[in-house]
Amino acid sequence: MGRGGRRENAGKKLKWGEEASRIGVPKSIGNDLVSTLEHLWEKGVRGQELINALQSAEFRKIRKYDYPVSAGEHSTSSVGGDSLNTNYEEVDLLQTLIEEPDRTFIVPVSGDSMIGIGIYPGDWLIVEKLASHSPESINGQIVVVAVNDETMVKRYKQGDGEIILESENDEHSPIRVSESSEASVYVSGIVKNAIRRNLSKF
């Protein structure tokens, strides 16, 4: 009786679909690095695209200076000349502006109903999807909300038997939706930040 030979693809399934190599990395970041690779791999990121994704973190960092610039009548410091030479830190804008990347999306703004809190037409809103949809969790928050077929950004208030969607502009009246009405109200998420994209229009 002949002996069985080695079967193709037999044995332990390769985690990455190919042989893995051992590389030396600092122990303090080893687990995080593997987790990041696994996350990108599961999303289908491969080859040069994967390398670019890992390298991109370096180029997201921007200098943030401790020295504030004055928007008032008097300077905030007596330092002369180019004061933006020292005392800075490098910040990652993605980590600074977005707390939950997997639950975050961006939408542009049209209209002026929220200018009272600094949301202007053309801005980008960074919105975090709700972890829970209880009225208590969003009461008083700035949200992206759909009423029937119209999506808008408003301050959400839970009133006595009604939902109140308030603007931050006196020229726009609140939208009131009775809880007994047939109107559909769906909150997509809470607005975390607004990005002003083009100041030249002001």
Instruction: Provide the annotated active-site residues.
Output: 113, 154
Structure tokens at 40: 């990108």
Q: How far apart (Å, rounded) are the C-alpha atoms in residues 92 and 186?
A: 32
Structure tokens at 66: 């401790």
**In the chain, where does DSSP find H-type helix?**
27-42, 47-59, 93-97, 135-138
Pair type for strands 162-166 and 150-158? antiparallel
SS3 (DSSP) at 102: helix
- Residue 126 near residue 93 (C-beta atoms within 8 A): no
Smallest CA-to-CA distance from 86 within 97, 77, 98, 96 is with: 77
Smallest CA-to-CA distance from 154 within 128, 175, 170, 133 is with: 175
Residue with tokens 């893995």: 20
Question: Roughly how many angstroms between the first and final C-alpha of the chain, as a whole number?
Answer: 88
